[in-house]
Amino acid sequence: FFFDRSADNPQTIKSLTRVSVKNRVALNNNNNNNEQTKAHQTVPYQYPPPPKMKIISSLTSALLLSALSFITGEVVELTDLNFEHQTQAATGQTTGKWFVDFYAPWCGHCKNLEPIWDELAAKVAEENASDGIIIAKVDVTVEKDVAQRFSISSLPTLRYFADRTMYVYEGERTLEAFHAFVTGGYMDGARTETITQPPGWMDIKLKELESLAKGNEFLAELLEDFREIVGYRKNAAAVLVGMGFAIGVLIGMALGMSMVSSSKEKKTQSKRKKA
């Protein structure tokens, strides 16, 4: 190591001290400038990608449910709300072939059939997953609209919706017989029935009116007259419903405007009294 003995001179020490102080000040200024520069630096903002629209049509949901039944091998529970969307019984049957058990919880034969029905769903999922066969059931004590649509009068009733046709199953209630039927046996002369259309908009509205008319004689009479009009010409009934809706909207608007004008008059009168 080499030492500079000139630093022992007091003048030299003072000059070195001044230089060190200046260096420290300069260093601090540089640090402050760097921090200010960093503080004012901007980072380009990356906008997050727009959220993906999760639009799933009734057909897509039906396909997803069908695929799920293939994977899990479980029986699909159908309701009044999803029966037509899932099976597409009257609209092409593009979601698969549906073997449906119309049952009731209190029915003894239905209870005996239940474990076999579960085995059938598992067997089809394992051996015939690519055939698009789906095993389903409908509780007619709850889903009364579907039961009425297909005129279910005995339990259990088994219907196979395949190839845009409804086949009636009348064979033995065994796993082997069921499996043979859904994998091609239905084409060997099985009896068919006409597939009735699902309830339309007017039918749904009539049922809503029926629920409102319970216990009200006046509404019941109006509903009876309306049913006669519907039976005569549905288009005329639809026009009446539309006109009733429009009149109701106009009455509501008129009432709203009258309430606004009356409130303005009250405010004007109160101001005059204060003046």
Is there a domain that residue 209 lies in? yes
Is there a domain that residue 154 lies in? yes
- Which of 140, 174, 193 is the last residue before a domain boundary? 193
Q: Is the pLDDT of residue 139 over 80?
A: yes
What is the span of the domain harbouring residue 81? 58-193
Length of the chain: 275
DSSP string for residues in 50-103: PPPP----HHHHHHHHHHHHHHH--PEEP-TTTHHHHH-TTTT-TT-EEEEEEE
**Listed range (26-40, 59-73, 207-221, 235-249) with the worst mean pLDDT:** 26-40
| Number of domains the chain is built from | 2
Is there a domain that residue 274 lies in? no
pLDDT of 200 reads 75
**114 lies in the same domain as 231:** no
Q: How many CB atoms lie within 10 A of CB 135?
A: 25
**67 lies in the same domain as 156:** yes
Share of the chain above pLDDT 70, in %: 53
Is there a domain that residue 52 lies in? no
pLDDT of 93 reads 81
**233 lies in the same domain as 107:** no
**99 lies in the same domain as 124:** yes
**185 lies in the same domain as 251:** no
- Rounded to an integer, the average pLDDT of 260-264 is 64
pLDDT of 181 reads 98
Q: Is the pLDDT of residue 165 over 90?
A: yes
pLDDT of 83 reads 95
CA dihedral 198, 199, 201, 204 (to 10 degrees): -140
User: What six digits make up the tokens of 181?
Assistant: 């039927």
pLDDT tens, position by position, 39-49:
444 334 333 34
- Rounded to an integer, the average pLDDT of 170-184 is 98
Give the mean pLDDT of the chain: 74
CA distance 229 to 107: 40
Is there a domain that residue 62 lies in? yes
Q: How many CB atoms lie within 10 A of CB 99?
A: 25
**95 lies in the same domain as 125:** yes
**65 lies in the same domain as 148:** yes
Is there a domain that residue 49 lies in? no
- Rounded to an integer, the average pLDDT of 132-160 is 96
Q: Is the pLDDT of residue 5 over 60?
A: no
- Which of 144, 170, 193 is the last residue before a domain boundary? 193
- Rounded to an integer, the average pLDDT of 149-164 is 96
pLDDT tens, position by position, 6-57:
444 545 444 444 545 455 545 455 555 555 444 444 334 333 344 444 434 4
CATH code of 80's domain: 3.40.30.10
pLDDT tens, position by position, 114-123:
999 999 999 9
Q: Is the pLDDT of residue 125 over 80?
A: yes
- Which of 138, 162, 193 is the last residue before a domain boundary? 193
Strands of 165-168's sheet, edge to edge? Answer: 76-77, 133-139, 97-103, 157-162, 165-168, 192-193
pLDDT of 94 reads 87
**188 lies in the same domain as 231:** no
pLDDT of 259 reads 67
- Rounded to an integer, the average pLDDT of 224-231 is 68
**147 lies in the same domain as 249:** no
Residue 237 contacts residue 202 (beta carbons within 8 Å): yes
Is there a domain that residue 19 lies in? no
pLDDT of 167 reads 98
**106 lies in the same domain as 174:** yes
pLDDT of 74 reads 93
Q: By three-state DSSP, how is residue 162 classified?
A: strand
pLDDT of 152 reads 96
Alpha helices in 73-216 (DSSP H): 83-87, 108-127, 144-149, 175-182, 201-213
pLDDT tens, position by position, 81-118:
899 999 999 988 889 999 999 999 999 999 999 999 99
**62 lies in the same domain as 157:** yes
**136 lies in the same domain as 175:** yes
- Rounded to an integer, the average pLDDT of 138-152 is 95
Q: Is the pLDDT of residue 124 over 90?
A: yes
pLDDT of 249 reads 58
Is there a domain that residue 146 lies in? yes
